[in-house]
């Protein structure tokens, strides 16, 4: 059990897609050897005499895919498969076959190590740069098997030295193109699917199979494969732009298979009138170029899709955060409005209490004092100085009583005085004009406005606070108040002709108190209303309040 765990850990560290335990390797190695030798035996049918170097060599791609999938410990399967395949060539000794097998295993190992080092490749390419790196690695690694194999055959006398270059070029290009075409195919199709293929993928598969059959039938019948094979190239573009790397590798392999089969059947080649081996080499290079182009486009499309997915995820996260922030702000606004309502209720209750205290104590004491002064003035001779002082004291008491009554009226809720907002504002405006000499003009549309008691109370308090600010700060001569009852809302505008001020400077300094404005804002906020203050030095001040009626 410990040995099995150690093997799995070793496979994971090596970057294998499917790390195997020790028993698994005893199964995988023979299977890889059989697959390699079986495909190699077919490919050797296309080899140039004496039968070792083939322009079509899919086993190189099988070897690299096995190395990447199972790790470096799969090399005995590659070695055995290559040795068995070459041992079947007439005149090959076991030593020569094993030497060639070692070269092919070394080719897979070199390619696998370089891919693991320089290419982000699991089952598919993550970026276009990885495709170019993989292609370069394939052509570099193929140098190992080509050089080892042809040199071994030349030393053994199987290949004349004069034919060294021809055999080496065929071996090298056959192995390189086999890696480029077959290895991505096996890796892409070995990836487990998360879901069933969609309609477009199924349509692509059926049309690709139909197109390959039509091209093959046309080539076999009329020798026109050099024209018809090009009809399959749009499938690579379709797969790269709309589907995935599975479809790209399938389309590339289909082009290669159909063209090679047509050549073997004697149909006209893509590169006629060259010899068969030269045509096969150019064909494999052509298909490799198509495959690489498709993989680059597919990797680019996949990269754009990942970027789009990240942007979509970022957008959803941003929307979620905005919703959370909006909910937080709404909660804060609701809590603030509730706090303002409680504060206003407490303030109104305190106003009632103070008004009651003034009425029960000071107002009654002033009334008693006035009665006593009147009685004293009646008992004194009218010509005495004491009577004059009594008359003067009585006048002061009367003025104090009137001021106290005005104070109590200002403290009591507005709805307790008059249910009509317009008449209440005009009565307060007349009293303010009489006290200060500042003309206040109240207009309303319609002429008589009646609103809910809480709305009326708020508007009256804002109106009185605004008049108080006009008296204290504006040096105004007149004030215009306009009431407008709109569908569902009531708007009050208060505008004076005073000296105005800079709201930003006042808010940033402590030269002038802003408590009155803050009280007005809290009252309006408590009813979820809006308050706007527009002012400028020398241009007067305008206050606009909008509340739900």
The pLDDT of residue 264 is 64
Q: Is the pLDDT of residue 326 over 60?
A: yes
Q: Is the pLDDT of residue 255 over 50?
A: yes
* 450 Cβ neighbours under 8 A, 6+ residues apart: 419, 420, 421, 456
Distance from C-alpha of 19 to C-alpha of 35, rounded to nearest angstrom: 19
Q: Is the pLDDT of residue 487 over 90?
A: no
Contacts 24+ apart (CB under 8 A), 9-18: 10/71, 10/73, 11/70, 11/71, 11/73, 14/71, 14/72, 14/116, 15/68, 15/71, 15/116, 16/68, 16/69, 16/70, 16/71, 17/68, 17/69, 17/70, 17/122, 17/123, 17/187, 17/190, 18/69, 18/70
Mean pLDDT, to the nearest integer, of 230-258?
79
Please write the tens of the pLDDT for every residue from 146-176.
Answer: 999 999 999 988 889 998 999 999 999 989 9
The number of angstroms, rounded, from the C-alpha of 544 to the middle of its chain's C-alpha atoms is 41
User: Which structure tokens are listed for 515?
Assistant: 């408590």
Tell me the three state secondary structure of residue 449: coil
The pLDDT of residue 413 is 58
With cut-offs at 50, 70 and 90, classify the pLDDT of residue 274. Answer: low
Distance from C-alpha of 328 to C-alpha of 487, rounded to nearest angstrom: 31
One DSSP character per residue, 380-404 reads S-TTSHHHHHHHHHHHHHHHHHHHH
Q: What domains are defined for the chain? A: 1-192 (1.10.1760.20), 416-548 (3.30.565.10)
Q: Is the dihedral of CA 383, 386, 392, 393 positive or negative?
A: negative
Neighbouring-strand partners of residue 543: 494, 533
User: Which structure tokens are listed for 451?
Assistant: 């609103």
Please write the tens of the pLDDT for every residue from 356-391.
Answer: 676 656 766 676 677 677 777 777 776 777 777 777
The pLDDT of residue 385 is 76
Q: Is the pLDDT of residue 3 over 70?
A: no
The pLDDT of residue 102 is 95
What's the Cα-to-Cα distance from 384 to each of 36, 238, 392, 393, rounded to whole Å? 141, 121, 13, 15
Share of the chain above pLDDT 90, in %: 23
Q: Is the pLDDT of residue 221 over 60?
A: no
**Antiparallel, parallel or unpaired: β 541-548 and 478-486:** unpaired
User: Which structure tokens are listed for 485?
Assistant: 């009852």
Please write the tens of the pLDDT for every residue from 13-55.
Answer: 456 777 777 777 888 899 999 999 999 988 888 877 887 888 8
Higher pLDDT, 377 or 227: 377
**Antiparallel, parallel or unpaired: β 478-486 and 439-445:** parallel
The pLDDT of residue 491 is 93
Share of the chain above pLDDT 70, in %: 83
Flag whether the pTM goes above 0.75.
Answer: no
Q: Is the pLDDT of residue 182 over 50?
A: yes
User: Which structure tokens are listed for 76?
Assistant: 């005995």
Neighbouring-strand partners of residue 533: 543
Please write the tens of the pLDDT for every residue from 63-87.
Answer: 999 999 898 889 999 999 999 998 8
Please write the tens of the pLDDT for every residue from 496-549.
Answer: 999 988 877 766 665 444 667 777 888 888 888 899 999 888 889 999 999 987
The pLDDT of residue 300 is 84
Q: Is the pLDDT of residue 337 over 70?
A: yes
Higher pLDDT, 75 or 12: 75
With cut-offs at 50, 70 and 90, classify the pLDDT of residue 6. Answer: very low
What's the Cα-to-Cα distance from 166 to each of 101, 160, 162, 314, rounded to whole Å? 21, 10, 9, 57
φ, ψ of residue 499 to 5 degrees: the values are -80, -15
Q: Is the pLDDT of residue 495 over 90?
A: yes
The pLDDT of residue 548 is 87
What's the Cα-to-Cα distance from 62 to each of 69, 196, 310, 479, 495, rounded to whole Å? 10, 26, 35, 94, 88
| Helix pair angle (245-264, 233-242), 10° resolution | 170
Distance from C-alpha of 105 to C-alpha of 101, rounded to nearest angstrom: 6
Closest by CA to 531, choosing from 498, 413, 340, 542, is: 542
Distance from C-alpha of 314 to C-alpha of 320, rounded to nearest angstrom: 10
């Amino acid at each position: 059990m410990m040995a099995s765990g150690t093997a799995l850990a070793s496979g994971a560290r090596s970057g294998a897609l499917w790390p195997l335990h020790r028993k698994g390797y005893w199964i995988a190695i023979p299977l890889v050897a059989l697959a390699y030798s079986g495909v190699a035996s077919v490919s050797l049918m296309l080899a140039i005499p004496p039968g070792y170097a083939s322009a079509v060599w899919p086993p190189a791609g099988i070897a690299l895919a096995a190395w990447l999938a199972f790790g470096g410990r799969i090399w005995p399967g590659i070695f055995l498969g290559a040795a068995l395949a070459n041992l079947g060539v007439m005149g090959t000794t076991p030593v020569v076959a094993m030497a060639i097998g070692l070269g092919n295993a070394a080719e897979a190992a070199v390619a696998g190590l370089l891919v693991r080092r320089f290419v982000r490749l699991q089952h598919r390419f993550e970026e276009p740069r990885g495709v170019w790196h993989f292609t370069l690695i394939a052509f570099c690694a193929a140098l190992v098997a080509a050089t080892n194999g042809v040199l071994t055959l030349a030393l053994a006398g199987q290949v004349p030295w004069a034919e060294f270059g021809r055999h080496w070029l065929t071996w090298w290009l056959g192995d390189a193109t086999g890696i480029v075409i077959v290895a991505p195919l096996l890796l892409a199709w070995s990836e487990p699917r998360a879901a069933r293929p969609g309609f477009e993928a199924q349509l692509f598969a059926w049309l690709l199979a139909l197109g390959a059959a039509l091209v093959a039938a046309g080539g076999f019948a009329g020798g026109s494969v050099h024209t018809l094979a090009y009809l399959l190239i749009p499938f690579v573009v379709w797969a790269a732009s709309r589907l995935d790397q599975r479809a790209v590798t399938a389309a590339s392999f289909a082009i290669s298979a159909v063209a090679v089969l047509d050549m073997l059947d004697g149909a006209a080649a893509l590169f006629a009138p060259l010899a068969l081996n030269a045509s096969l080499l150019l064909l494999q290079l052509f298909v490799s170029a198509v495959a690489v182009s498709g993989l680059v486009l597919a990797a680019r499309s996949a990269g754009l899709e990942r970027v789009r997915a990240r942007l979509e995820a970022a957008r959803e996260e941003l929307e979620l955060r905005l919703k959370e922030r909006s909910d937080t702000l709404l909660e804060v606004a609701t809590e603030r409005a509730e706090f303002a309502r409680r504060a206003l209720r407490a303030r109104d209750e305190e106003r009632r209490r103070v008004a009651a205290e003034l009425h029960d104590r000071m107002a009654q004491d002033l009334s008693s004092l006035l009665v006593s002064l009147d009685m004293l003035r009646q008992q004194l001779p009218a010509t005495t100085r004491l009577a004059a002082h009594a008359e003067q004291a009585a006048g002061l008491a009367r003025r104090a009583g009137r001021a106290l009554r005005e104070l109590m009226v200002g403290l009591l809720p507005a709805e307790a005085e008059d249910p009509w907002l317009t008449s209440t504002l005009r009565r307060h405006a007349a009293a303010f004009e009489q006290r200060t000499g500042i003309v206040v003009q109240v207009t309303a549309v319609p002429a008589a406005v009646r609103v809910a008691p809480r709305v009326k109370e708020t508007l009256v308090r804002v109106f009185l606070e605004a008049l108080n600010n006009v008296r204290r700060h504006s040096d105004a001569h007149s004030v215009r108040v306009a009431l407008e009852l709109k569908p569902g809302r009531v708007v009050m505008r208060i505008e004076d002709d005073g000296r105005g001020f800079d709201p930003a400077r006042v808010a940033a300094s402590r030269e002038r108190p802003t408590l009155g404005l803050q009280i007005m804002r809290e009252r309006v906020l408590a009813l979820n209303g809006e308050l706007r203050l527009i002012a400028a030095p020398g241009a007067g001040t305008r206050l606009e309040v909008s509340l739900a009626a």
